Amino acid sequence: MSGKLGIHSLVFTDDWSPAAAEASCRAAAEIGFELIEVLLFDPAALDIPLTRRVAREAGLELRLGMALGPDTDIASNDPEVARRGEASVARCLEIAAELEAPAVSGITYAAFANYAAPATTAQRAQVAASLARLDRRAGELGVRLGLEPVNRYESYLVNTLDEAADLIRASGGSNLFIHMDTFHMNIEEGDIAAAIHRNAALLGYAHVADSNRGLLGGGHFDVLGYCRALESAGYRGDLTVEAFSSNMLGDGLVGGVRLWREAWQDSLVAAKAAYDVVRVARESARAGCTVW
């Protein structure tokens, strides 16, 4: 694994005002992280010059995440909603190019929502066609688009690495990749190492989160085993810590991810602990990996 170690800005705060953004980037860099991921809640609301400045001043690279909502759902049966969703992803790709970030990834294929019925064959075909157009736009801009499989309570279209790979193949895209998230993999994958190896050629980014989505190392997810699987599969992408504490987030996010408990009081302590967990696991995997 030769990728960079990163941290999600939500470990520190969901406030991206100048003071908060500067403090988050400065803290991440001082701990030793090489990149910070910023979530595009609303593409129109992101302060692009601020984001560029605070990352550069801290010496960090940028990664961008996003999640479509019910009013921007590419899988929607309402053509206008689906159109808005595709336009939203396209705008995020443009922002990535403006910020010289290599990609946008996340729930880029349907809404972040709890659905009552499975997606239809027609909806899957609709999303594949939309992703094909977005893939072409990404290529024009020189960036990539990632699909993050999430658990069944947060989406109905892509819950596993295999499903993400199937959708990428159906779209025919050459600028699409799978964005792994260990919190969701812990729920949905029957054999995480096997899923990694089956889809190794499409893996491009990873969120490292524990089973309880809180302090990394505070749950039961096997971070070392995960890093060993990545190492043996030849993964060369980035590893970004994603962890949440309810006292660091606003009500909208807390309710969206059902985050009812405070995982920590001090984000600096939590971020440093997470950095140590991932760094040690990655170095151990490099040193002692056996053939899978």
Nearest alpha-carbon partner for 103 in 33, 151, 40, 49:
40
At residue 93, what is the residue type? Answer: L
Integer Cα distance of 216 and 220 in angstroms: 9
d(Cα 84, Cα 241) in Å, to the nearest integer? 30
**Residue 87 near residue 137 (C-beta atoms within 8 A):** no
Exposed (0-12), middle (13-18) or buried (19+): which is 79, by Cβ within 10 Å? exposed
User: Angle, nearest 10°, between helix axes 161-171 and 121-141?
Assistant: 70
Return all residues near 13 (Cβ < 8 A) that are at least 6 apart: 20, 24, 248, 249, 267
Burial class (CB in 10 A: 0-12, 13-18, 19+), 238: buried
Could you give the residue numbers annotated as active site? 148, 242
* CA 261/CA 210 separation, integer angstroms: 14
Spatial contact of 207 and 181, defined as CB atoms under 8 Å apart: yes
Between CA 86 and CA 179 the distance in angstroms is 19
